[in-house]
Structure 1
C-alpha cells in the first residue's frame, strides 16, 4: 500500500483529500506546514502532496528536504505561474485548485506508477538506463484489443520517435492525455518533462501569461518576471488539451512557437528560443471552426501534421467488457474487495450502454458499483446505467407514422439515425430559430446543442440579428 503525506494548512481541504485517498486504498498521513511535516521521516513516503503557499516555508521546500520522494504541488489559478517555478525546482507535477476527484486520483496514480521502480537519488537517476520501448509501449499505458485501438497504437509507435506535431482527436473521456503520455514516453524526449495544460481550465485573461510567461509590470499584479508553461517544457513535450478553446491572441503566439521555435513573454520585446515537441488534443471540429473564424486556419494546418483519432468506447466492441474487468480488478484490489465479479446481466448492460462519457464514465460506474457492493457480485442496479440510446429527443416534426410520409419540413428519408435527424433539423431551422429555440425543440440544453454542433461539424450561423 502506497504511503502519502498531505501538507495543507486548510483543514477542510486536508480532510477532504485525506478521505478521498484513504477511500481509494492509500495509507495517508497529514501535516499543516513544512515544519510540521519535517518532524517525521519524509523518506518513508511514496508521495508528498503539498500546497504551494503554507505558513512559514513554502511547499517547494519539501523538494529539498525529501529529494528521494516525488512532490506533487497544489496551487490556485492565481498562483499558477509559481507552479512552473516549482517544477523547475524539482516538483514532479502540479495540480490547480479547485481540482476534481478524478483529476487528483489520476495524477497520484500516474506519479506512483512512474516512480515505483525508479531510482530515487539524483545520482542514481543520471546513471539509470532510459525506459525501454517495451516498457513505454502504448499497449502498456492504454488498454485496447479492438482493431481501431490497434491502429492507434501503430500510429503512436510510428510517430513517437519523430519531432512531428500531433493532433489527437476524440470525445471527452476517450484517453487523449494517456495517448499524449505514450507519445512522450516513446520519444527521445522521455527523460525530459511533459507539461500538460488544459486550455479550457485556465481563464482567458490568464492563458497568454500562463503559456508564454510575462515580464515585471506587464499588467496589474505582475510584480516579477515569470516563466511560462512553454518554457517549463523546454527540451521536453508540451501537451495542450482542448486547444480549440485558445483565444485568438494566444493562437497567434502559438503559431510563432511552431514556425520559429521562439516565444515572447507578455510585456517583452525580446524573443526567446525554445525546444518543445507539441502535442495537441480536442473534441471539437477544428476544421469547421476555421470556416467560422473561431480557429486560425494556418495554425490548424501546423497542428494537423499527424492526426490520431481515438475511437469512442461505443465503437470498441469487446474492449468495453475488457476495460470493465480491468477496472473491477484494480478498484477491487484497491478497496480490499479482490473477489468481485460481474453478473451476466451486468455484462449485458455494460455492452448495451452507449457510454457518452466513454472510458471515464465506465471507470466511474465500476468504482461506484464496487463501493456499493455488499457481496461478491456486481449487479446491474449497482452500475446504475441509463441505457437510453441517445440523449437527443426527437422534435414533434419527426414523430411521424409510417403511413404519413409528409413532414413539416419536407420529405424525410427513412431509417435515419438520431444524429442524422439532429443534423437535418438544425440545418433546416437555424436560419429562422435562435439557439435557445433549437435546443427547446430538440429537448436538450443549449450546452448539449453546442457540443453536438462541434462533434458533427455543424457551424453556427452568424446573423446580424440578435439570435442567440
Structure 2
C-alpha cells in the first residue's frame, strides 16, 4: 500500500520524469522541482516526509557544494526530515562529508531502481518512527501534566512531614540517586512520584519496578530487555525497564528483596550507565535518574552479608526516611478526612464527616499498616456507611497483636483472608522479616509472599 510524500529536486527534466514513473508506484504523493529555489516553500506548504536532493544545479559545476548548502537549509527548517542526496559526480570524501552534515544516505547516478527504492523506503520508515516517537512523547508529556495536576496529595501537618517535603523539594532538582526507606504502607512510591514531579525530568516517564515480584530467571529480561530468539518465548525484540525510563526516572521498589547474585548485575548497569539486552552483545547507553525504596534496614543487611555494600553506596546518595503513621498522630485526622472526601466523591455518597468519637478512635489506633491501612479503612467505611456522619462502629481495626501473631487471637470464626493474614504476620515476626525464610516456612514463593504482604498491609 502506497504511503508518504516524497519531494524530488533535480534540474534534469528527464531524470524527474523517470523518477515520477518509478516513485509513484511506492509513494502516495510525489512532488518534483527543477530548481531548489522553491525548496523551502515546498517544505512549508507540502510538508513532505522525505527529500531526494540533487547536488549540482549550475552548469559546469560538479563540486556538490550546492547540494550541501541546500541540505543545510533543509536541516535548519526541519532537522529530522530525511534527505537523500543524488549525484552523478560522486567520491568517497563527498559522501562522508554529506553524511556528517546530516544526509540520510547518498545515491549515485545512474541508479539501480531496487537499491534506490530500498534507500528511500528505509529513510521514510525512519521518518515515520521519529514522528511516532515525537507523538508518544507529546502524549506522555500531556498525560504527565494532567496526572500531576489532578492527583492531590495530603502530606499532613506534622513537623516531621513538613521537613520531609522541604527535603524532597531540594533533592528533586538534582540527579542524585535517592533511597526512600520506611515501613510498608507509609507511601514510598508516592514520595518517589513527588520527587519525579519536582525534577527536571518531569516531562519524561517514571517507570516503576517491583523488585520483590521479579523472579531471578526474568530479572535481566525485565530490566535490560531481550532480542528476538534470546530464549524460547522471545518472539520479538523487547526493551527493558532501563530503556523505557531513558531520560526519565527509574523507581526500584523493595530493592532489599533482590538476591545477592542479581545485585551484582544491577550494580554493573548502574556503574557503566549502559545495558545489554539478553541475547545481544551491543551496549545501549541509558540516562536515568534512580530512586530506590525498601522497608528493610540495608545497613544491617550489609553487616549480615545479604546486601552488597558497594550497591548500597551507589543507590544511597540521599536517604529519605518516611516515619510511620503512629509517630505522627496529628496527621491521622487530616489524612482520614482527605480520604473521606475522596471516596465520598468516588462512590457518590454526598457530603460526609467524621464524628468526634470516630476521630478519637482513629487517633488511638496504632495503624501497623500505616497510611495504606488508614486509606483502606476509610474507603470501606464510606462504602458501608448509611448516614452522613461516620461513627466508630463504621470502622473495624484489628489490634496490632492480632496482625503480628504476638497476641492470643484464635482462628475460630475467621475468614480465610484473616487466617492467612495472621499466619503470615506470625511467620514474619518469628523470622525477623527474612522474606526467604518466611516463604520457605509457608511453602510459597517470594513474589507470592510479597504480594500478600502488600495486600494485608503487613
Instruction: Compute the TM-score of the two structures, normalised by the length of structure 1.
Output: 0.56
Report 1:344-423 matches (<5 A). 344-388=356-400, 391-392=403-404
Distance 1:350 1:280 in 2: 31
Distance 1:322 1:142 in 2: 8
CA deviations on 1:54-78 (whole Å, 9 max, x unpaired) are xxxxxxxxxxxxxxxxxxxxxxxxx
Residue in 2 aligned with 1:146?
Answer: 158
1:115 maps to 2:146: yes
Contact 1:241 1:280 in 2 (8 A): yes
Kindly report the root-mean-square deviation, in angstroms, between the aligned alpha carbons of the 2 structures.
Answer: 3.3
Distance 1:289 1:282 in 2: 12
Residue in 2 aligned with 1:317?
Answer: 329
Secondary structure of residue in 1 paired with 2:291:
strand
Distance 1:261 1:452 in 2: 32
Residue in 2 aligned with 1:198?
Answer: 210
CA deviations on 1:17-71 (whole Å, 9 max, x unpaired) are xxxxxxxxxxxxxxxxxxxxxxxxxxxxxxxxxxxxxxxxxxxxxxxxxxxxxxx
Query: What is the Cα deviation at residue 205 of structure 1?
Result: 1.8
Distance 1:192 1:169 in 2: 24
Residue in 2 aligned with 1:445?
Answer: 426
Distance 2:297 2:193 in 1: 23
Secondary structure of residue in 2 paired with 1:206:
helix
1:162 maps to 2:174: yes
Report 1:41-52 matches (<5 A). none
CA deviations on 1:328-353 (whole Å, 9 max, x unpaired) are 11111222223222122211110011
Residue in 2 aligned with 1:182?
Answer: 194
CA deviations on 1:344-381 (whole Å, 9 max, x unpaired) are 22111100111111111101101111111111121112
Contact 1:332 1:338 in 2 (8 A): yes
Shift in CA distance, 450/89, structure 1 to aligned 2, threshold 3 Å: farther
Picking from 243, 256, 279, the partner of 1:267 is 279
Segment drifting more, 295-304 vs 247-256: 247-256
Query: What is the Cα deviation at residue 87 of structure 1?
Result: 10
Distance 1:143 1:361 in 2: 16
Distance 1:175 1:143 in 2: 10
Distance 1:233 1:367 in 2: 33
Q: Relative to total residues, which structure has the larger helix share, 1 or 2?
A: 2
Distance 1:245 1:444 in 2: 17
1:252 maps to 2:283: no
Distance 1:92 1:350 in 2: 44
Secondary structure of residue in 2 paired with 1:200:
helix
Distance 2:219 2:427 in 1: 26
Picking from 224, 235, 240, the partner of 1:212 is 224
Distance 2:210 2:256 in 1: 11
Shift in CA distance, 367/395, structure 1 to aligned 2, threshold 3 Å: closer
Picking from 319, 325, 328, the partner of 1:307 is 319
Query: What is the Cα deviation at residue 155 of structure 1?
Result: 1.1
Number of equivalences: 292
Distance 1:271 1:241 in 2: 25
Distance 2:168 2:277 in 1: 32
Residue in 2 aligned with 1:295?
Answer: 307
Shift in CA distance, 297/326, structure 1 to aligned 2, threshold 3 Å: same
Instruction: Compute the TM-score of the two structures, normalised by the length of structure 2.
Output: 0.58
